Amino acid sequence: MSKSLLLRGVAVTAALGLTLSACTTDDPDEPTDGSDAGCEAYADYQGNDDTTVSIYTPITDVEADAYEASWDEFESCTSITIAYEGTDQFEEQLRVRAQGGNPPDIAFMPQPGLISEMVEGGFAVPAPEQVAALAEQNWAEGWMDYSTVDGQFYGAPMSANMKSLVWYSPTYFEENSYQVPETFQDLITLSDTIAGTETKPWCAGIGSDAATGWPATDWVEDVFLRLHGPEAYQQWIDHEIPFNDPMVVEAFDMVGQVLKNPDYVNGGLGDVSSIATTSFEDAGLPILDDECAMHRQASFYGAQWGDDATVAEDGDVFAFYFPVIDPAGDTPVLGGGEFVVAFADRPEVAAVQTYLASGEYATARAEQGAWASANNQVPLDTYTDPVFRLVAETMQDPEATFAFDASDLMPGEIGGDYLLSQITEWIVGQDTQTTVDNVEGNWPA
């Protein structure tokens, strides 16, 4: 994938698209049996009338509303009710519910490491054959590996997030004659320049309730990938490179140049320590008031800007590719996504899991906006905002240098728990060596 494609600014709109119209009968009290006009596409999911399937996810607020709207027609045409529950304490509470004998029917799981943990605990159910067939057909090679444990496939991927983005204000940049940086050193030089003004170059926030810390892990992963390449990155995930290796220390320290620099952060929000207490949803918003100039966050952050912000190449907010360290090297893309994993083997659960793996569902969700998938059955013109079209193109491109979020691939007790607490301590003052030594010392045998 060409660097020029990634370096161009990419826009995003937070507005949700029109919801799908539900298919109904003339008599609102008459049950839908799949024979009504518009419901033919759901014939394979029929036969589970008046059942309920619970879905548990880390996705809340406006994104959750879009998900619930995306399967309205499926619910109406199949008489399967989907009971959606989003929470900011997903990883912790999923463990509690599974171990307590009360798991959800389906979970949207962003951490392959957590999938392995649920499998090893005997909680997750292998995916039906039709789900495996759809996953193999609809996603590029490699995606299935993330939800395969000991040779058994557990869930198809769904959304895809591009994390290698920096949000900024094109208006502010133009007024001050700033250029979008093409290398990491350019980024530091620009930060030094802005630090000499009344505006802080960066704003950041890692608050996310029980998952506080994950935005900082994304920073470290993006920098490690750029410093050491995809092969070393995978060795780090697999613990072939220990967590306290000098290569990891180097990545932390480069991130610290930005996030732990009082001259750089935290515009409109406070000092360095405020990063730990600022929610990730609010962290970039000072850009709109020129209180900070840049905010590194994934494509899904496009849903946070609000209706009053003009998101455009010449507007209030836009985004550019998180620049490379070596301009002569690869152009890596850090990303992530959710996987649809079942905890029950009832037929209605299989029907919902299968539908969510289909191109029809991915297209229905894409029509809601502020979302992208690596599902290659979604027509690219479904994505009406450029940032999510770029994400889809990138994730569907088998030639792209794509790396899945490292902490999500590490053992769940590290990537979804201990690392988060340690990187939060690092933000508020703990030194790098202590941080990486602590994580290494708690790595499961």
- Which one, of 88, 430, 434, lies nearest residue 273 by Cα? 430
Q: Do 370 and 423 fall into the same domain?
A: no
Q: What is the pLDDT averaged over residues 279-288?
A: 97
23 has a pLDDT exceeding 80: no
Residue 296: CATH number of its domain: 3.40.190.10
Q: pLDDT band for 24, please (50, 70, 90 cuts).
A: very low
Q: Do 299 and 170 fall into the same domain?
A: yes
434 has a pLDDT exceeding 90: yes
CA–CA separation, 116 and 339 (whole Å): 12
Q: Poorest-confidence range of 21-30, 40-49, 56-65, 103-112?
A: 21-30
**Is 176 inside any structural domain?**
yes
29 has a pLDDT exceeding 70: no
What amino acid occupies position 278?
A: T
107 has a pLDDT exceeding 50: yes
Q: Poorest-confidence range of 65-69, 157-161, 251-255?
A: 157-161
Q: Do 261 and 357 fall into the same domain?
A: no
Q: Do 278 and 223 fall into the same domain?
A: yes
Q: Do 386 and 431 fall into the same domain?
A: no
Whether pTM exceeds 0.85: no
Let me know the angle formed at the C-alpha of 393 by 388 and 396, rounded to the nearest 5 degrees. 120
Q: pLDDT band for 82, please (50, 70, 90 cuts).
A: very high
CA–CA separation, 317 and 12 (whole Å): 9
Q: What is the pLDDT averaged over residues 219-225?
A: 97
Host domain of residue 272 = 165-331+411-441
Q: Do 313 and 356 fall into the same domain?
A: no
Q: pLDDT band for 8, please (50, 70, 90 cuts).
A: very low
Q: pLDDT band for 310, please (50, 70, 90 cuts).
A: confident
Give the strand pairing for 402-404 and 333-342. parallel
**Is 1 inside any structural domain?**
no
- Whole-number pLDDT of residue 81: 98
**Is 2 inside any structural domain?**
no
Q: Do 36 and 145 fall into the same domain?
A: yes
- Whole-number pLDDT of residue 61: 87
Q: Do 56 and 69 fall into the same domain?
A: yes
Q: Do 344 and 304 fall into the same domain?
A: no
**Is 404 inside any structural domain?**
no
98 has a pLDDT exceeding 80: yes
Q: Do 238 and 317 fall into the same domain?
A: yes
**Is 139 inside any structural domain?**
yes
Let me know the angle formed at the C-alpha of 221 by 217 and 227, rounded to the nearest 5 degrees. 145
**Is 3 inside any structural domain?**
no
- Which one, of 287, 36, 263, 51, lies nearest residue 172 by Cα? 287
Q: pLDDT band for 399, please (50, 70, 90 cuts).
A: low
Q: What is the pLDDT averaged over residues 83-103?
A: 96
Q: Do 127 and 237 fall into the same domain?
A: no
Number of folded domains that form the chain: 2
Kindly report the average pLDDT of the chain as a whole number: 89
- Whole-number pLDDT of residue 393: 82
- Which one, of 18, 17, 10, 13, lies nearest residue 386 by Cα? 10
356 has a pLDDT exceeding 90: yes
Q: Do 393 and 415 fall into the same domain?
A: no
Number of Cβ within a 10 Å radius of residue 244: 18
